[in-house]
Amino acid sequence: MGGELSVKPVRAISWSDVGGREASLIQRCAVRDEDACAELVTEHQRMVYQLSLNLLNDHNEALDLSQEVFLRVFRTIQSFRGHSSLRTWIYRIVINQARNRQRWWRRRHRSQQVSLDQHIEDHGDLPEIVSSGPDRLVGQKQLGERIRAALERLPFDQKTAIVLREIDGLSYEEIGFSLGIAVGTVKSRLARAREGLRAELRDV
């Protein structure tokens, strides 16, 4: 798209940019320091689980995926070179693993979903993901259910972009790294996702 060509490339974070404590933690995990591995899991497990749940919409699948993600993290952490924060690198692993699982589901025609009531009980009300006042969503269970259903009907890549931006609050640059795409593509993907959500909600 023409608009994407004008976006300036973002400088990759170098290893020296990674905080001293984080760099130390990564290096200790790379040599299989059990205390460091446990520390990394403790710091990131909530984020990994919640992102997995937002992408897969199933509590048990999110738990399974979280385990897969950390196994993948510890198998590949020696290759981490500080081109992003550790958190953003883990986001990328979660997304790749969730995408693989979505493909597996499609081949077997699976469509199980966690209930909105359970999600709210576990994590609180859904954050605002459509351009409207915050009171439009708080406490409105029916609208929350429609939004969740509309999210599920989006293509996986659009849904992921919306979740990363509007629920997890990532920057465009972090989303770009997590998805392996340019910042301009992030913005156009988000625009398509938001329009898709609006269309779904209008149809309802």
Which tens digit of pLDDT belongs to each residue from 4-29? Answer: 434 444 444 444 445 688 889 999 99
Which pLDDT tens digit goes with each residue over 65-83? Answer: 999 999 999 999 998 988 8
CA angle centred on 82, ends 190 and 87, rounded to 5°? 50
Residue 98 has pLDDT above 80, yes or no: yes
Token digits of residue 149: 């259903």
Least confident of 8-12, 66-70, 99-103, 160-164: 8-12
Q: Which DSSP letter does residue 189 get? A: H
The residue among 190, 127, 185 whose CA lies nearest residue 160 is 190
Sequence length of the chain is 204
Neighbours of 96 (CB within 10 A): 15
107 vs 178, more confident = 178
For residues 42 and 25, what is the distance between their CA atoms, to the nearest angstrom? Answer: 12
For residues 7 and 5, what is the distance between their CA atoms, to the nearest angstrom? Answer: 6
CA dihedral 54, 56, 61, 63 (to 10 degrees): -20
Residue 145 confidence class, pLDDT cut points 50, 70, 90: confident
Burial of 147 (0-12, 13-18, 19+ CB in 10 A): buried
Give the per-residue pLDDT at 62: 94
Give the per-residue pLDDT at 88: 93
Residue 158 confidence class, pLDDT cut points 50, 70, 90: very high
Q: Which DSSP letter does residue 129 get? A: -
Report the mean per-residue pLDDT for the chain: 79
For residues 128 and 37, what is the distance between their CA atoms, to the nearest angstrom? Answer: 34
**Tokens 């299989």, residue?**
32
Token digits of residue 44: 């990131």
123 vs 33, more confident = 33
- The percentage of residues in the chain with a pLDDT greater than 70, rounded to a whole number, is 71
Give the per-residue pLDDT at 128: 46
Which pLDDT tens digit goes with each residue over 33-65? Answer: 999 999 999 999 999 999 999 999 899 999 999
